[in-house]
Structures are given as C-alpha cells and as structure tokens.
Amino acid sequence: MIKVENLKKRFGKLQVLHGVSFDTEDGKCTAIMGPNASGKTTTIKSILGLVVPDEGTITVNGMDVRKGFQYRNLIGYMPQIPTFPENITPRELINLTIKLRSYEKNYSEELIGLFEIEEHLDKPFSALSGGTRQKVNAVLAFMFDVPILILDEPTVGLDPVSSRKLKNLIKERKSRGVDVIITSHIVSEIEQLADDMVFLLEGQVIFEGPVKEAIEQTQGEDLEDAIAKLIQRQQAA
C-alpha cells in the first residue's frame, strides 16, 4: 500500500506538484491520469525516490521513502520508454537486476518465454526494436514476486498480442493481491485494468476514487467523456 500526503515539488520557478495526496490499495489497480505536464511522472518518481520532494510524505507498506532504499525491493518498476545502454544485452541487464534484488526466486525464464524474446537475449540493445526493448522492460518489472508494481505507459510500443499478454499479466498479479499503479494515455486500457483513478491537473488531484464513480459523478458516457468533464469543471471553477 502506498500513501502519498501533501506532496509538493518545484523545479526552478515551476511548481510541479501542489500538495498531492492519495492512497493505493493492495489487490487493486490505481491509474494515475492527467494531461501532459500534470505531474504524473514526478509523482511516480517521488515514490521511487528518484525525485526528492520539497514537502510531504510518502510511505510504501508503512516505510517512509526518505528514510532508506530497502523499500524499493518491494517495487517492480516499468519506466516509460527506457533508455538502456546500447552496448549491453538483455541477458546482462536481467542478471544485473537479479543481483541487485533480494529475491530467492525469479520468473525471468517464464516471462522471456511468454514475450518470446529468447533469440534477442544476447544481442546488444542497439540491435533491438522499440517493441523488444519494451518487452525486456516488462520482464525486468514482473520477474520478482513483488507486492507493488509501478507501470509507466506499459503498453507503449508493444504489438497487440504482446500488449494483451501484458494486460493479462497485470490482471493476474492484481488478483494475487499486488498493488498496481499505472499511468497511460490510452483510456480504453485504463477502463480494462484500473479499479481506482487519481486524476492530476496542473499538479493537483482533482479526482480520487473508483473509476465508475468518476463516470457517475460527472454523468459522463464513458471514462473519456468523464475525464473531459472533470477538466472542464476544474477550469470553470
């Protein structure tokens, strides 16, 4: 479970987060949504300790993220369009990640089979397509039995078959009680996967709750319509 309270962050003159607060629950998928530059990536990076917040607290399963790094052992992270070094191979990267983690068991073999990337394991990243890189990215995030998954635009660059496999994987982990946090611009994907939604606009949470509630509250036809109405309502206020 992740608890974010009154998170504030400024980059130079730009205030990116204005007191963001929300909770996520085990066994549920929470979508962090919002237009470009609304603070989604900064929020995720703050949870991972990559960005140091100016104010506020974040706890991951009760551990304050500012007071150590061990909590990151609980998180599988899939960054958006990752830039892996061009000269190293997926096998080397997978092995490095295994060494940096404290898990007895990993599911890398099963996932490599699932995404059919065996033949690419010993090629340097410079020789891999965007889609294959994204599959390696998925293997790295899902290969441990972690209680929390943070997925930043996970299906970008994937073909429909692989995208479907990844979504099934997310659903399976969720059913096993994993706390999944996802960002995506594909509304249909969020409708399929997410239970809850945190909607950010200019660094503020303008909606937090179940996806269905967002549709009901705004009397939208679907989630896309609900999002449009949420933004309009906020801009009018």
Partner 1 sequence: MQLRNLSSGSRQLSLFEHYINDIVRGKWFIAYTVLLFALIYAVLMFSFETSQAVVGVMNLVIFIVPAVGLFFTSMYYYSRREFMEFILSQPVSRTFVYFSFYLAMSLAMIFSFILGVSVPMFIQGFAPEAIKMSLWGVLLNMIFVAISLMVSVLADDRVRGLGTVLLLWFFFTIFYDAVLTAVIIYFRDYPIEKFIPFVIAINPVDDFRISTLLSTDIAAMLGYSGAVIKHFFGRFFGVLYVAFLQSLWVLIPFLVGLWRFRKKDF
Residues lying near partner 1 in the complex (CB under 8 A) are found at 11, 45, 48-52, 69-73, 75, 77, 79, 82-85, 87-88, 92, 96-97, 99-105, 145-147
Classify the phi-psi angles of 162: left when phi > 0, otherwise alpha if psi is within -120 to 50, otherwise beta. alpha
Q: How far, in Å, are 30, 39, 105, 110 from residue 75 at the CA level? A: 15, 20, 15, 19
In the bound state with partner 1, the residue whose beta carbon lies nearer, of 37 and 186, is 37
| Alpha-carbon 82 to chain mean position | 13
The minimum distance between CB 23 and partner 1, in angstroms, equals: 21
Q: Which is nearer to partner 1, 82 or 220 (CB)?
A: 82
**Burial (0-12, 13-18, 19+ Cβ within 10 Å), 115:** buried
Q: What are phi and psi of 61, to 5 degrees?
A: 50, 40
Between 104 and 119, name the residue whose CB sits nearer to partner 1. Answer: 104
Considering beta carbons, is residue 19 or 82 the nearer one to partner 1? 82
Spatial separation of the C-alpha atoms in residues 159 and 128, rounded to whole Å: 15
In the complex, least distance from residue 195 CB atom to partner 1, rounded to whole angstroms = 22
Nearer to partner 1 by C-beta: 84 or 199? Answer: 84
The minimum distance between CB 106 and partner 1, in angstroms, equals 10
Provide, rounded to whole angstroms, the least separation between the CB of residue 145 and partner 1. 5
CA dihedral 36, 42, 47, 51 (to 10 degrees): 160
- Least distance (Å) from partner 1 to the CB of residue 52? 6
